[in-house]
Structure 1
């Protein structure tokens, strides 16, 4: 059976009402602690690697530099020049311009980074599917519709250090529609992973709520509606769960009035999924405990028989790659 983890970036515990959003609260939910970056607020770039490894940002090494994730050679060059020559405020503006105008996605660290740096993840040795997890990219040469939409938002979502929350939109309602398309696509892909019956762990992610929240200070109803729609989408995923499947929702921080808040959230179809999670650093341990203590062996939907040996195959492939010097 399958454990499904859905990362809803910026799902805020203060904005989830169990009566209005039963599928976001599930059967058990709680607020959890998060971690601030050097910029003084939680950072997506740093926190999803923390969630999948259980390690704090200085330990896994994927940290912001002056509030900007310099994820490629152009940005790293800009960071180096900025560190030596420019005031901090102007550095932030250069980073904002680069990320707005170069089409750079700051969350595209390949999954090989973790093995190369001896960093354990919740996926190691598991029959696992990942769908869009930030900074854990299994195929750097491919991208889905969420990536495409995010990279081509243009003036629908521009960085502006002087704006509330650091972002502005030329057309908030058009922007909202694109963000909800992103959310819908990622939930749908996560549902397909569950329905395939191939995996013991399916870990999906979407940034839709976060993006909407960053511009909703101009039009608060956008954020309210995004929670209503997210609840409906997660409800469809929940309806796909079999009797022995479980669903865990995870956020990296909250978001209110256009600004990241200092509290994250977890919710689960079983109290045991969330009972021991007090911080983003505890999510990996909770997932592993669930997988180790309860049977989540994949079941082939075509034959009804259990699928076995995939984890062992993964270990063999890893050993071969290590022998060849690739890892």
Structure 2
């Protein structure tokens, strides 16, 4: 009926445990290969376009050619020239200053990019809800609560090349709470889309786990607490699934000791969902195979629980998102 895909940035296959995280491992889960950027570690900027297109970064064109500094749109158009003029360390410092002191966001490439470049995505030709996917922005003029929270982190999350995880936080406890709120927003939006009954594919992304992991290298218990809470959030989505619905979790990389690791993971409510996924390049094909395999059409309004709808709507209203 409906396939729900939750993109959980930095969900690490070595940190999940079926006994403690039944909703992050679902019926079956496995480690998959990811792709490194030119900087030597996996890049969120590159990998979510790869996941929705099935193309390597050099093929879809969204690459970090000059390192993390050049994720910022203010530098994107000048990066080619600047790379000949500035040493890498200075480039990174400039990029870090801009990311810390402006409202620019690194992951806001509009969805129209793909059509203009002749690149197909998993969303083409079907009714799909796309929620917060990095570098696939359907309406660049609008932002949801996760995006606005991320953009307003300020000194709660600052780039620092000398820190173990490349970032520091002025108040890790407050930062943790804000990141969990960000994840709650996207999970709630996925639940609302599932209950709304208009799409056959719902694809929602959240970055909260990744952000927390970058600043808790010296507080591993806080990172694992985030795994436990996220397991509860995903469990709420799983509880909304009807008999014929399926849920697939996807990550772009892992994260340990503050830095990205070179393994991603998938988990699914059916072994069939994950058995053909060996790398991030295979996710699109697996989603399309599942949509072909079963009649994943949106549920009729008659099949939805009015009580359930009211519950989710009330939660969103209480959080100030509706």
Contact 1:45-1:69 at 8 Å conserved across structures: no
* Aligned positions of 1:177-192 closer than 5 A: 177-192=177-192
- TM-superposed CA distance for 1:81, in Å, is 5.1
Aligned to 2:320: none
Aligned to 1:32: 32
How many residues align structurally? Answer: 304
* Aligned positions of 1:176-215 closer than 5 A: 176-215=176-215
1: distance between equivalents of 2:74 and 2:81? 11
Going from structure 1 to structure 2, the CA distance change for 1:77 and 1:119 (only over 3 Å counts) comes to closer
| 1:229 equivalenced with 2:229 (yes/no) | yes
TM-score normalised to the size of structure 2? Answer: 0.92
- TM-superposed CA distance for 1:58, in Å, is 0.3
Aligned to 1:23: 23
TM-score normalised to the size of structure 1? Answer: 0.90
Aligned to 1:301: 301
Contact 1:71-1:108 at 8 Å conserved across structures: no
Q: Residues 211-248 of structure 1: CA distance to partner in whole angstroms, max 9, x if unpaired?
A: 00000113211101000000000000000000000000
- TM-superposed CA distance for 1:71, in Å, is 5.3
Aligned to 1:163: 163
1: distance between equivalents of 2:42 and 2:263? 9
1: distance between equivalents of 2:198 and 2:255? 34
Which segments of 5 or more consecutive residues in structure 1 lack a partner in the other structure? Answer: 305-327
- TM-superposed CA distance for 1:50, in Å, is 0.1
Give the CA RMSD over aligned residues.
1.3
Aligned to 2:112: 112
Going from structure 1 to structure 2, the CA distance change for 1:190 and 1:73 (only over 3 Å counts) comes to closer
Going from structure 1 to structure 2, the CA distance change for 1:27 and 1:281 (only over 3 Å counts) comes to same
- Moved >6 Å (runs of 4+): none
Aligned to 2:51: 51
- TM-superposed CA distance for 1:72, in Å, is 6.0
- TM-superposed CA distance for 1:68, in Å, is 2.3
- TM-superposed CA distance for 1:65, in Å, is 2.5
Aligned to 1:66: 66
* Aligned positions of 1:100-139 closer than 5 A: 100-139=100-139
Contact 1:255-1:261 at 8 Å conserved across structures: yes
2: distance between equivalents of 1:218 and 1:156? 16
